[in-house]
Every structure is written in C-alpha cells, then in structure tokens.
Structure 1
Amino acid sequence: MASSERENGPAHGDLPLAEAVAALQSVLGKIPQRWLLVDVTRQCLVLVLDGDPQRRWPVSTAAAGINAGEDSGGTPPGVHRIERRIGREAALGTEFVSREPTGRIFSPDKLPGEPDRDLILTRILTLDGCEEGVNRGPGLDSMKRYIYLHGTNREDQLGRPVSHGCIRLGNRDIVAVCDLVCEGDPVVII
C-alpha cells in the first residue's frame, strides 16, 4: 500500500484553481486558508494552503461521472465541508461498515475470490454539501448519499473514474490527508 503522493506538489497550470476559488468565494464568501480540491478530470486530490497547491494524490471518482442525483452513482459537484474524520486511530487497512470499524484488516491475499469487492478502508472523511440544489437538499444531498473520501482495496484503480460516487484514495494517502485537514475544511469537487 505505497503512497503515491507527489512530494513537491502539482504545477499550478494544470489545475482548475480559478474555478475552485470562484466557487469558494461564491458559496462561502471567502477563500479559506486550507482546502481540498478534487479534480475529476485529472483524477487527483490537491491540498491547497494559502492559495498554493501543496500536495497531490491520485483518486478514483465515480464511473458515472459528476452527478449529485440520489441514485446516480455519481460524484457530486461543488463546495462541500468535511463533516467528520472517522478512524483516526485505526490501523492501516481497517475495514469500515456503516462508518464503524469491523475489526477486520484488509489484505489483498485474503480476498482472492472477490477482486471486485469495494471496501471502505483506513480512514473516512464524510462530506456535507454546502450548495442548496447542487449537493444539498432533496434528491441530491451528499451527506444523505454517504459520499466520502476513503481508503480503498482497489488501489490499482486509482487515477481512473471507477467508484460508485465516493472519492477513493490509497490507504497511506488517506492517512496523510486525514492528518492534514480538520472538520469543517472545504472540499471543492470540479
């Protein structure tokens, strides 16, 4: 479960920073010091501090694309906030069901007959939509859809849109992200 983070951070020019900053300003009325950007086109998560991209990790967003609809299977767009950080003391590979640790630790050789099983592992960052009618409210509420950033047993699929709506990260990467952010920090999905 090797980390695939780029230590020196991404180049500014390849990210939709201006679009994300405009969304933050419009929705929150300010640009926070610390926030996360999920770039669906590039399948990456970026930590932004004081307007400067600092770290970048590969992700897997929804195979169904950007869509906030209740049964869409899509990754919801727009501005969200981290509602909860779950599993901060859990061991790497801890399996979660209904946001609770099961006591099982994932190992690829333990599930040889179930390669397509989609597990939620290691850490969970729950997301709460901030935009009524976009990712919050009847029929498209990110919180009610249980949209998370979480570790995955399918690290081989990172960099491709194959999830069921959540944002999947490598297990070491979700530990790093969870340690770098706080509840309430914004997450912009573009």
Structure 2
Amino acid sequence: MNDSSIALRIDINLDRQTLTLAGPAGEVLAEYPVSTGLNGAGEQDGSGCTPRGDHYVRAMIGAEQPEGTVFRGRRPTGEIYSKELAQAHPDRDWILSRILWLCGRESGRNRGPGVDTFRRFIYIHGTPDTEPMGVPMSHGCVRMRNADVIDLFQRVKPGTPVTIR
C-alpha cells in the first residue's frame, strides 16, 4: 500500500458482477469477477441484498493472515479453509482471507436506521475458490476469489471510495 491509494476508487457493477479498481484519472488498474447478493440489489436490513450507492472502506481486517484464513465475527478462527473443513461445516457462509468493511455515505439510502451498510456488516471478502464468480450468490456482501481480495487489499486503504451500482 502506498500514498497513491488515496486517489484510488472501487466501482462494483451488479449487472456485470465485476469490481473495478480505478486510478486518479479513472484509468482501470484492475478488474475482478465478484459475486454479490443472491436477492439482488437493496438496502433494507435483513434483506440479503447488496446495497447500492456511494460507500467507503471503513475498516480493513486480516492484513497479516495467510490466504484462506477463516473469519467469524471479523476475527480469525485459527482455521484455514479446506475441503475437509467445508464438509464438516456445510452451512457456513465462508468469509476468508481479507475483509474490507463498507460504510454508506448516503443518509436514508445506505446510512442510518433500517438501511445502514456498516451495521448490516456488508463486506468485500474472500470466499472459497470453488464458489462461482460472476453469479449473484452471497447474503449481500461482495465475494471475491482469495487471491483477488488479497491483491485489492494491498492496493487500497481505509477511506477508499466505493460505488455500488
């Protein structure tokens, strides 16, 4: 991470199921496939939808953890994701490798009572590499391949603007 990350921005396109990292002049620095909310776009608490609008990265979790680290409640469990672990816990919603916790910027839309992205625990995070990308499958978060979320994590910092459209 370097000081140039201040001018970076993240754009998440729900229709295309992509996350684009753009530079200061809007140039595309990286584009990654993602998986967003199975229930589509929406901001209501408990909806399982991915919130739209302007956000920012409020917190970044997992910087020193190995790839595949399993998180529960934003804390590493001490486990590393494996096929055997997945078989032992078939109903877990896997949050792996890194977490970029989002906060809404638009009062009444994605910030505040009933619609608060931060209080809904909406993240950009890693998921098992067996999970499909390019298809909405999450509970509202933005899922990425582990190598991709680690790459993104290394390029940005808290405060990085995020637009979900």
CA contact (8 A) 1:95 1:121 kept: yes
Distance 2:86 2:154 in 1: 29
CA contact (8 A) 1:45 1:56 kept: yes
Distance 1:39 1:56 in 2: 11
Distance 1:70 1:156 in 2: 25
> Which residue does 1:37 correspond to in 2?
11
Distance 1:155 1:147 in 2: 21
SS at match of 1:110: helix
Deviations 1:11-65 (A, max 9, x none): xxxxxxxxxxxxxxxxxxxxx7210000110101000002111210110000111
Which of these residues, 68, 74, 79, is aligned with residue 93 of structure 1? 68
- What is the RMSD computed on CA atoms of the aligned residues? 1.4
Distance 2:35 2:151 in 1: 17
Give the percent of matched residue pairs that are identical in Structure 1 and Structure 2: 42
After TM superposition, list the pairs within 5 Å mapping 1:67-146 onto structure 2. 67-112=42-87, 114-115=89-90, 117-146=92-121
SS at match of 2:87: coil
> Which residue does 1:46 correspond to in 2?
20
SS at match of 2:131: helix
Task: Tell me whether 1:174 sits opposite 2:113 in the alignment.
Answer: no
> Which residue does 1:183 correspond to in 2?
158
Residue identity opposite 1:48 in structure 2: A
Of the two, which has the highest radius of gyration? 1
1:153 Cα shift?
Answer: 1.9
SS at match of 1:156: coil
SS at match of 1:150: strand
Deviations 1:105-155 (A, max 9, x none): 001243236555321000000001000011001100000000000001254
Residue identity opposite 2:63 in structure 1: R
Q: Which has the higher contact order (CA 8 A, sep 6+)?
A: 2
Distance 1:80 1:152 in 2: 21
CA contact (8 A) 1:155 1:169 kept: no
Q: Which runs of 5+ in 1 are unaligned?
A: 1-31
> Which residue does 2:3 correspond to in 1?
none
CA contact (8 A) 2:108 2:115 kept: yes
